[in-house]
Structure 1
């Protein structure tokens, strides 16, 4: 069988055969072997960067280390300097994979991976998607993503889509007329799976619900739907299952690292322990017990071009109590550290609190399609929403009552009905943002 996807990666200098072989070896380790492998890789990657990366050497302040916990925790602000100042000796933009983060956390930056590390990222993706019978060479993807609007960027992305056997639905306009066009593609194309941003797929599912259509009745080849990049709420998952007629898989990753967690066949959010080392830390950079929330801090075990060692990705999460080093399970992803509302009483609430409260009430009648919440002052929140009709007084009072119950009294809410909501350049929807410092 002609494997165009694998071949395109190989031609671009990503050694896929070697990466796949290494991943197979890691996956086959016993628990004890895995423990030895992780410890060795941690020492190896830190030593490499201390010897070969002036940026990291300067940050750490030593050339040899004895204690893992003494290493600094990197954050995105540390990395907001020219890429050339952060690359290891022997690596350049030409012999590495270079890309930039989406900036959904509000802190975008350019990063690099050496080509072997990036090949392992792809091997890890291929391995996990394979759990659901998806083969990147042969399975046809319905892709709900943004796309560059400039001519060259657009053509490059379309070529990548062709080589990766996928059809892209651009998500910058999700009006009913456009969604009708999406539906026609499902009627005429034999898609195997859906992959893309959660909020966009939610709108498509709501469109199907309104039309009383189950997607597998018009596209029976569909096997599974993978959602990424934004929170998947339980009610949205149920909506997807009902309107698509297929299993829904939740993936969680960052462009600068890899897939971090991917839902396995048992429904657990299994953390990638093959190419990453994941820690959950408190505010003093100490590891918290499993079952306790903390900052998600990740080490890329293979990236020699650029150090991602004890890198705080800006998210808060909880590892399940039954997690092991070889099979960590992400019990809950609570949200980004910068998505916290500070209230007049001094209380701190994750931005998701607002989202859960308003979502449960607003969705009762299906009028509101999507919304974002902005904290503009310590006591003032603006809710921008897309809906067929404006919220009435009774709905607004219900929302305010619920927020008072979950949060506190005397908060001010201002509602704005919009034709469409502002997404970032990649098409992601940032669902809560605070402008209060």
Structure 2
């Protein structure tokens, strides 16, 4: 039984139909593909101008025959209650609803209609198949976060079971935790590793210390696919050496889709089937292939919520030989995270704070930006921009969550500020360690 496909269908995502449509799109000639993209762009804009009150007001000056007239949506524009951003006939009960991780410092709740989410999964499954990975049959070693409360914990474990994967928590990167992970690899026929870059790099460093090649104890392993954080070449070489399999780079955003995926030619192939990706300068002018600028993305299928010319907060370059059908990402700037080092010697991924700081994200959009800095081994500072000051009760809740996920005797200081300092790319680094 194909449990993964079955679980998608049970939740209302028509994965069979989505896979079929994706295959039709990919079979189009270059000329027909260009026509398809233009048709989808116009269709999704027209839909939201007619059916979405938020977008109708936001895009009131749009000329459908002039793509440049379409305004850029930023995360700031979307920091308002989700009910105000949904299209007509969509509610929080009949859409896929989630929160962004806050890795850019601009968290918000988003929605996808179920057909759009089915297309997202069709795209992901197609790309993973390039490396002979089938979500229904290939067992996954997953390096992600996991809730520590019982209800959330067991809910994720159940989802993992249906998805044929085993989750290794990124909240503990100690040698003991990695030793346990190694024992799991010895007894499981994992076919691929998937997860956040930094904890997987730490696992590779652990293997190096032990002088162990992962495929020597887990010969079923085929590939390692990393996401969410920047992958540096020296780390990639380290992982390839001690995992014994190819390391594949994925670039995605939960509110959109898989954005780019490394193909067998080591090229970062952009998703052109369900997304339209542009590179813009500071004046919102489209740049030619080969020039560096802001990555702006249009979701071609999301009718529940408009992501049209959406500034994701990253800077990148497309190769000069890119085409409409096969755009190739030459460079992505940003998306790095530090490792948290604690007084006990315990280590955790900087992404740990993505989960902890979700507790400050509210549907009313009070907190618009935040960053976390480690100033000493036992001291962290959370700087945030908000409409009103965080209450003492809220601060205490966050402190308790930090202690719960990490360890006791940690000091958390809060600083409310009018503006946070951004990097050259215009993006906030959500976690920074000043220990080095």
TM-score of the pair, normalised by structure 2: 0.78
- Which residue does the alignment assign to 1:215? 214
Kept in 1: contact 2:62–2:69 (CA 8 A): no
- Which residue does the alignment assign to 2:90? 91
Task: State the alpha-carbon separation in 1 of the partners of residues 349 and 172 from structure 2.
Answer: 15
- Which residue does the alignment assign to 2:329? 330
- Which residue does the alignment assign to 1:359? none
Kept in 2: contact 1:193–1:225 (CA 8 A): yes
SS in 2 for 1:299: strand
Per-residue Cα deviation, 1:146-184 (whole angstroms, up to 9, x for no partner)? 011222221211111001000000110111111110110
Task: State the alpha-carbon separation in 1 of the partners of residues 407 and 320 from structure 2.
Answer: 44
Kept in 2: contact 1:98–1:112 (CA 8 A): yes
Task: State the alpha-carbon separation in 1 of the partners of residues 172 and 300 from structure 2.
Answer: 39
Per-residue Cα deviation, 1:31-80 (whole angstroms, up to 9, x for no partner)? 00000000000000000000000000111114763211111100000000
Matched, 1:158 2:153: no
- Which residue does the alignment assign to 2:18? 19
Distance 1:21 1:245, change over 3 A: same
Matched, 1:65 2:27: no
Alignment of 1:339-350 (within 5 A): none
Alignment of 1:282-297 (within 5 A): 282-297=281-296
Distance 1:17 1:202, change over 3 A: same
- Which residue does the alignment assign to 1:239? 238
Quote how far apart the aligned CAs of 1:370 are. Answer: 9.1
- Which residue does the alignment assign to 2:269? 270
- Which residue does the alignment assign to 2:313? 314
Quote how far apart the aligned CAs of 1:431 are. Answer: 5.6
Per-residue Cα deviation, 1:53-110 (whole angstroms, up to 9, x for no partner)? 0000111114763211111100000000000000000111111111110101111110
- Which residue does the alignment assign to 2:192? 193
Task: State the alpha-carbon separation in 2 of the partners of residues 38 and 76 from structure 1.
Answer: 24
Gaps of 5+ in 1: 337-350, 356-366, 373-381, 387-417, 423-428
Quote how far apart the aligned CAs of 1:289 are. Answer: 1.5
Runs of 4+ aligned residues of structure 1 deviating over 6 Å after TM superposition are 367-372, 382-386, 418-422
Two-structure CA RMSD over aligned residues (Å): 2.5
Matched, 1:55 2:58: no
Per-residue Cα deviation, 1:246-292 (whole angstroms, up to 9, x for no partner)? 00000000000000000001100000000000000000000112111
* Equivalent pairs, count: 360
Tell me which moved more, 60-69 or 33-42. 60-69
Per-residue Cα deviation, 1:298-342 (whole angstroms, up to 9, x for no partner)? 000000000000000000000011100100000000126xxxxxx
SS in 1 for 2:76: coil
Task: State the alpha-carbon separation in 2 of the partners of residues 60 and 237 from structure 1.
Answer: 43
Alignment of 1:292-307 (within 5 A): 292-307=291-306
Quote how far apart the aligned CAs of 1:139 are. Answer: 0.1
Matched, 1:140 2:139: yes
Task: State the alpha-carbon separation in 1 of the partners of residues 304 and 374 from structure 2.
Answer: 43
Task: State the alpha-carbon separation in 2 of the partners of residues 278 and 334 from structure 1.
Answer: 16
Gaps of 5+ in 2: 339-344, 351-372, 378-405, 412-428
SS in 2 for 1:192: strand
TM-score of the pair, normalised by structure 1: 0.78
Kept in 2: contact 1:371–1:385 (CA 8 A): no
